[in-house]
């Protein structure tokens, strides 16, 4: 049962990463064609939701693999670097995307 939960969480992370890559590629084409502001906002919101879901699935994966001796909180704290990297990537990408949209206008 634990292996199925682990593999489904890992598969979900890979699917979300693939979708995030597709959104980034599509956004690059949208910016090159001077799309409307509504399209840019939809892509930005989609990317934000995808990256928050990635953070949640990663936390779920770490929590599900925590051994009974360490506990969930200790397991999450031991991977704090991974979560910090997720948050920094989320904020940097969104800030740069907003800045790029503002410069284009």
Q: Is the pLDDT of residue 68 over 60?
A: no
Angle subtended by helix axes 2-32 and 37-64, to nearest 10: 160
Q: What pTM was estimated for this model as a whole?
A: 0.69
Range of the domain at 59: 2-104
11-42: pLDDT as tens digits:
888 888 888 888 877 777 766 666 677 777 78
Cα dihedral angle (84, 85, 89, 90), rounded to 10 degrees? Answer: -40
Structural domains of the chain, count: 1
């Amino acid at each position: 049962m634990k292996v199925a939960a682990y593999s489904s969480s890992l598969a979900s992370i890979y699917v979300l990463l693939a979708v995030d890559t597709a959104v980034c590629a599509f956004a690059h084409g949208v910016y090159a064609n001077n799309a409307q502001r509504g399209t840019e906002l939809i892509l930005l919101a989609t990317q934000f939701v995808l990256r928050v879901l990635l953070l949640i699935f990663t936390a779920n994966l770490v929590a599900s693999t925590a051994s009974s001796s360490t506990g969930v909180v200790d397991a999450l704290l031991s991977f704090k670097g991974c979560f910090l990297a997720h948050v920094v990537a989320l904020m940097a990408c969104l800030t740069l995307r907003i800045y790029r949209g503002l410069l284009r206008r």
